[in-house]
């Protein structure tokens, strides 16, 4: 009998506006009221303001493709940051580029808030009438104008960036190949890089959560739709590709 439901967010659980709504939240609540457990499993960082915006406070949360797991109280159950030496070398090569460095509580950026807003607009983000989403909502969990030391002094769990320049893309791929024993790239879109520790993925994180809950793998049902869900979908007998 299934005891735990685990779902990806974008493209799976969330609506077309990439938000929860009354139907989604009521369904999650119904799952819990009937004695089941629910967890997200997402590439998103799920920092405080984003969790509040999505109203997912009372769920288990697997975030950043499995490198961080928190319980409904926000306590860390598992974490696997990127190797610190790897971060230092990355900063020497690519510091100043528009990369997001996700820690457990904030996303650090080397550029200004105004520059990030322009990036969102250039990337096609549109504030749609009737939608609660605003660019500044996404930026509430950011810290801007961060220097190298600011970043080095935090555990970094994920590095995100969008790169269209082919030369820089090759430099990134070369860096990833050099550190292939330490990091993995699990991008959600073309020209997007999403670096995390190689030791983990969503499937591994679900296994860790099952161990914490003292449940067998036959007790979980997982849902996903993208490349970063493949390990999770393939590891458990009850899996649904959306």
Global pTM?
0.89
Strand partners, 184: 196
For helices 166-178 and 84-94, the axis angle rounded to 10 degrees is 160
Residue 228 has pLDDT above 90, yes or no: no
Residue 60: how many CB atoms within 10 A of its CB?
21
pLDDT exceeds 70 at position 129: no
83-109 pLDDT, tens digit per residue, is 999 999 999 999 989 999 999 999 999
Q: Are 3 and 37 in contact (CB under 8 A)?
A: yes
Lowest model confidence (mean pLDDT) among 114-118, 120-124, 207-211? 120-124
Residue 46, Cβ neighbours under 10 Å: how many? 22
């Amino acid at each position: 009998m299934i005891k735990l439901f685990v779902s990806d967010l974008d493209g799976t659980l969330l609506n077309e506006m990439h938000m929860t709504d009354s139907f989604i939240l009521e369904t999650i609540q119904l799952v819990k009221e009937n004695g089941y457990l629910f967890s997200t499993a997402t590439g998103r960082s799920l920092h405080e303001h984003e969790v509040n915006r999505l109203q997912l406070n009372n769920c288990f949360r697997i975030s950043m493709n499995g490198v961080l797991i928190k319980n409904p109280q926000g306590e860390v159950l598992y974490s696997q940051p990127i190797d610190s030496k790897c971060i230092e070398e990355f900063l020497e090569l690519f510091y100043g580029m528009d990369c997001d460095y996700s820690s457990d509580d904030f996303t650090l950026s080397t550029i200004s808030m105004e520059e990030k807003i322009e990036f969102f607009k250039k990337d096609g983000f549109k504030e749609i009438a009737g939608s609660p989403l605003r660019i500044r909502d996404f930026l509430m969990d950011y810290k801007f104008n961060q220097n190298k030391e600011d970043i080095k002094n935090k555990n970094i769990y994920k590095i995100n960036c969008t790169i269209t320049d082919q030369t820089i893309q090759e430099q990134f791929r070369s860096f990833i190949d050099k550190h292939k024993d330490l990091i993995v790239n699990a991008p959600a879109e073309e020209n997007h890089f999403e670096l995390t520790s190689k030791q983990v993925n969503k499937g591994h994180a679900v296994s860790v959560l099952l161990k914490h809950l003292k449940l067998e793998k036959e007790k979980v049902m997982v849902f996903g739709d993208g490349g970063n869900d493949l390990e999770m979908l393939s590891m458990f007998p009850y899996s649904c590709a959306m």
